């Protein structure tokens, strides 16, 4: 066995891991890693003593049983992860709370088995408040485990500093105040279709989204980031019926290029009002391009501290894993435990000026043949249709309600 370390990192609003593994903590603070790249490791229900004192495992590999091994373990420290933003847009504002797994975290019950995983788990029951240096205060409410919403927010004021305070499980955490700035660029979007090597796949059709951004009319002291999500219309299978009733609308939402982090440091430029071209997303062309396909680009203007945080995240994401790379380490954000100075709180809460622009493609724009997988045929059996051709709910993030900006 080789010793490694796992590091939670922020990518957009989701959390991924630099190493996916099952950890058993040693007293020295290092960890032994049992990689599960090809086989799922599960612990069968087999508990004789309290899990707080020892971990009882029966590892099932390829249907064979291994003798149970008892390990006395030191209690691991679970770290709070905070991901959130308050911005100028007239939209609900969110904070996401989760927690890293400790070495002796109780496994999850799945059917008749306890399943081990090292993914962060949502944190419920927190009290979260947004506060300003003008003594204003707003309270978030939890709408689902780990997701907290601030609705009907009155908006940010220029030059005012904001921060959040979090009370959860006996801990009191707070973000460093950040000031809202009105400085931001103007995006001019375009796209190109190409065929070649994309994400290590040869002869692949893909689309590239880019912006020719007009820079702010000032020298330096601005920091920009671009985040991209997508939305496309999905044609469900129309089965002939006496009422000639269609299957209904289906809109699917996703992130086309979640690991890409596009940043611009205005301190490195001396071009007030100039143009800078940035690639903001790339994506394989598939059946989602058979109908209208939107790319929603959010340009974010924020603080230098936030820029530095995302620059470090990008470096970690792009780390190739060679022996010359910097070893993974927790990336310091802007949150701290106000009562325990040495406790590590992961993540970042930013105050941002956000400008949203959109661009879309239609089937006529795509220069490649795309196979239609949901087309009705009277000779085709029902179970020959993919489930996504029958029900919009088969997509993880979908709706039958048309977005208000769809036909703008």
pLDDT value of residue 59: 34
Q: In what order do the strands lie in the sheet with 113-115?
A: 42-44, 113-115, 108-110
Q: What is the pTM of this model?
A: 0.77
Per-residue pLDDT of the chain (408 residues; tens, 9 = 90+): 444 433 444 334 333 333 222 232 333 333 333 333 332 333 333 333 343 333 333 333 334 444 444 433 333 578 899 999 999 999 999 999 999 876 556 666 666 666 566 678 899 999 999 999 999 999 999 999 999 999 888 889 999 999 999 999 889 999 999 999 999 999 999 999 999 999 889 999 999 999 999 999 999 999 999 999 999 999 999 999 999 899 999 999 999 999 999 999 999 999 999 999 999 999 999 999 999 999 999 999 999 999 999 999 998 888 756 666 666 667 889 999 999 988 989 999 999 999 999 999 999 999 999 999 999 999 999 999 999 999 999 999 999 999 999 998
Q: Provide Rg for the chain, Cα atoms.
A: 24
Q: Rounded to whole angstroms, how far apart are CA atoms 156 and 293?
A: 32
> Of 173, 131, 186, whose CA–CA distance to 156 is shortest?
131
Neighbour-count burial for 112-144, b at 16+ CB within 10 Å, e otherwise: ebbebbbebbebeebebebbbeeeeebebebee
């Amino acid at each position: 066995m080789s010793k490694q370390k796992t590091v939670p990192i922020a990518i957009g609003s989701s959390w991924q891991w630099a190493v996916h593994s099952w950890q058993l903590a040693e007293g020295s603070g290092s960890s032994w890693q049992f990689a599960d790249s090809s086989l799922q490791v599960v612990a069968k229900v087999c508990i004789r003593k309290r899990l707080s004192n020892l971990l009882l495992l029966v590892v099932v590999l390829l249907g064979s049983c291994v003798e149970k091994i008892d390990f006395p373990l030191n209690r691991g420290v679970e770290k709070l992860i905070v991901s959130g933003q308050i911005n100028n847009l007239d939209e609900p504002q969110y904070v996401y709370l989760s927690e890293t797994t400790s070495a002796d975290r109780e496994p999850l019950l799945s059917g008749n088995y306890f399943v081990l995983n090292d993914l962060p788990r949502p944190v419920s029951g927190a009290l979260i408040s947004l506060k300003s240096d003008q003594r204003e205060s707003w309270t978030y409410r939890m709408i689902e485990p780990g997701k907290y919403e601030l609705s009907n927010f009155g908006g940010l004021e220029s030059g005012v500093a904001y921060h959040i305070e979090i009370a959860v499980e006996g801990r009191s955490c707070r973000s460093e105040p950040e000031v809202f700035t009105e400085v931001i660029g103007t995006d001019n979007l375009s796209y190109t279709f190409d065929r070649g090597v994309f994400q290590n796949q040869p002869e692949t059709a893909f689309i590239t989204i880019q912006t020719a951004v007009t820079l702010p009319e000032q020298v330096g002291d601005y920091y920009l980031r671009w985040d991209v999500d997508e939305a496309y219309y999905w044609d469900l299978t129309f089965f002939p019926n006496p009422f000639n009733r269609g299957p209904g609308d289906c809109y699917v939402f996703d992130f086309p290029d979640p690991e890409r982090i596009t940043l611009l440091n205005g301190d490195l430029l001396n071009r007030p009002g100039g143009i800078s071209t940035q690639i903001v997303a790339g994506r394989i062309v598939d059946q989602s391009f058979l109908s209208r396909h939107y790319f929603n680009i959010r340009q974010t203007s924020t603080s230098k501290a936030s820029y530095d945080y995302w620059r470090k995240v990008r470096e970690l994401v792009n780390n190739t894993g060679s022996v010359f790379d910097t070893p993974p380490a927790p990336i310091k954000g802007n949150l701290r435990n106000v009562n325990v100075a040495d406790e590590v709180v992961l993540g970042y809460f930013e105050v941002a000026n956000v400008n949203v622009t959109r661009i879309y493609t239609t089937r006529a724009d795509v220069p490649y043949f795309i196979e239609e997988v949901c087309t009705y045929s009277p000779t085709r059996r029902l179970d020959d249709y993919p489930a996504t051709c029958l029900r919009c709910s088969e997509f993880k993030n979908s709706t039958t309600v048309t977005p208000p900006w769809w036909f703008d």
